[in-house]
Amino acid sequence: MSSQQNMSTNETIDHCKVPNQVTYKTLSWLVIGEFVLGLPLNLSVLYIFIFRFKFWKNKSIFLFNIVVADFLLVVCLPAKAYHYQNGNRRSPDKMVCKTMIFMLFLNRGASIAFLITLSIDRYFNVVQLGRRNIVKVLKKSPHVCIVIWLLLLPLTIPTMVKTFECCNSLGRKYETPFHDVTDTFREVVYFGQIIIPFIILVYCTVRIVNRLQRKTVGEKAKLRRAMCVVLSVFVVFSVCFLPSTVARAVLLTVRLKEWQDAEDMVVQVYDSFMVLSYIDCLLDPLVYCFCNSGFKDAYISTFCPTFLRNRLPDTDFGLGTTTITTTTTSGIREITLPILAK
């Protein structure tokens, strides 16, 4: 009898209705803005990588996979905005709800995996120079990217196994312990795929910055490029992933303590930070530019207007070009040589 009452209570309370219409109407317009900016940006990046830059010839297979992950995120944004506009935190349709969360988990996992791989590659190139760089070896095989995608799929299974209330049900009361196991596993995956890579990222960043402080003249440009790569990845993590992770931890704490009034407020904060996390599809192109100046040059030459290209500086602040000064009988001549980041 008690079990039936718990089931009835859970069914009558709809935790997926938005707690504040104004907040979610605003969030829906922010999501629409991210879609409007993100779709053409990612389509243009895909075009450059495939038709102009030819990523398979320039050892940029990992960058291309980040673009694919971002594109998967962008195509989900209209549905998310639609649900917010209609007063729902997710789709009332269970299959659509699961599919959306599956796509978001897959995008987040793929983006983090490939971004961290880039940071580790830069770390080995400048800090562990002379040792075997396994990442550089893996970059030569596109099959590795397929393996990474396949390894990410099992981590999304908990979102597809069983119906869960509002797709984030840890702390709710259910008639069987199966739900708790599934939800607990999903939360472990959620936090693990942020915290562990972030620790790795911080370590790589600190070591590269320390190496830069002990640089020699000949290593300056290379170390600066590596530092810009890991710092750009650090910015993406700090802006897109960390705030929503902290808010998620607070939300679970409040929910487990059954503070319903506080939960309604924390839910809005958490969903707001999740909307903020979607801008990684807008920030990732900065990482591409820092990682490989060849991509940046191809993008600018294709989409940047001529009058604006003429105003861009010839030097690349040590990121992609270098300036060599030579002396001739007629005076001093400057020669600018492009150096593709590897």
At 299-314, the pLDDT tens digits run: 888 887 776 666 665 5
Q: Using DSSP, how many helices (H) and how many strands (E) does the chain show?
A: 14, 2
pLDDT of residue 219: 62
Residue 260, amino acid:
Q
Tell me the pairing of strands 321-328 and 331-338.
antiparallel
Is the separation of the CB atoms in 254 and 262 below 8 Å? yes
Across the range 318-338, mean pLDDT stands at 41
Percent of the chain topping pLDDT 90:
18
Across the range 19-35, mean pLDDT stands at 93
CA distance 34 to 79: 13
Percent of the chain topping pLDDT 70:
70
pLDDT of residue 321: 41
pLDDT of residue 1: 41
Is the separation of the CB atoms in 86 and 56 below 8 Å? no
Taking the CA atoms of residue 224, residue 225, residue 227 and residue 232 in that order, the dihedral angle to the nearest 10 degrees is 140
Q: Is pLDDT above 90 for 109?
A: no
Across the range 248-253, mean pLDDT stands at 89
CA distance 89 to 100: 12
Residue 3, amino acid:
S
Query: Which band of pLDDT confidence, cut at 50, 70 and 90, is reported for residue 330?
Result: very low
pLDDT of residue 32: 96
In this structure, what token pair is assigned to residue 108?
A: 């987040």
CA distance 264 to 168: 14
Q: Is pLDDT above 60 for 162?
A: no
Nearest to 285 by CA among 298, 275, 271: 298
Q: What domains, with CATH codes, occur in the chain? A: 2-305 (1.20.1070.10)
Q: Is pLDDT above 90 for 7?
A: no
Residues 6+ apart with CB under 8 A from 85: 24, 25, 28
| pTM for this model (two decimals) | 0.78
> Over the stretch 111-159, which tens digit does the pLDDT of each residue have?
888 888 888 877 877 777 656 656 666 666 667 788 888 888 877 776 6
Question: What's the chain's average pLDDT?
Answer: 76
> Over the stretch 53-92, which tens digit does the pLDDT of each residue have?
877 776 788 888 889 989 988 998 999 999 999 888 888 8
